[in-house]
Amino acid sequence: MKIPKILFVIVAIATIVSCSKTEDNVSLEPPTAEINVDKLVRKASLRNQIIPFSIITEEGEDVTEMATFYVDDVAVEGNTFSSETIGDFEVYGVYLDNGVETTTNVESFSVIIAKRKLL
């Protein structure tokens, strides 16, 4: 009778010890950051006008220089874009954060032709 009681005590102690540790919650979703289209968040730019992009992480770190930006899924050189073609575009950025590839949200913007007012 003593062996089952000892066995019960050992199992109870093992259960308490194994369940008492806390673990960090790790997100299963890929991390994201906010992308800024121009500092003014300009939704429309003129043809051939240079449009700068930047990425600021949730911690406030500027990771623009280590990011690759994609306009309509095509990588652009550096962190600026301009177009002779009018239309709507989408931009996002990808960068490494502690060895983990992070993709920003997608931001939309337009390239337009300036309208002249007739007097």
Instruction: Spell out the domains of the chain, with CATH numbers in brackets.
Output: 27-112 (2.60.40.10)
Q: What is the mean pLDDT of the chain?
A: 78
Please give the residue that has the higher pLDDT: either 4 or 107: 107
The pLDDT of residue 119 is above 90: no
Residues 37-56: tens digit of each pLDDT? 544 346 788 888 999 988 88
Ramachandran angles phi, psi of 100, nearest 5°? -105, 125
**Residue in the block written with tokens 């983990």:** 100
Distance of CA 65 to the CA centre of its chain: 15
d(CA 94, CA 32): 9
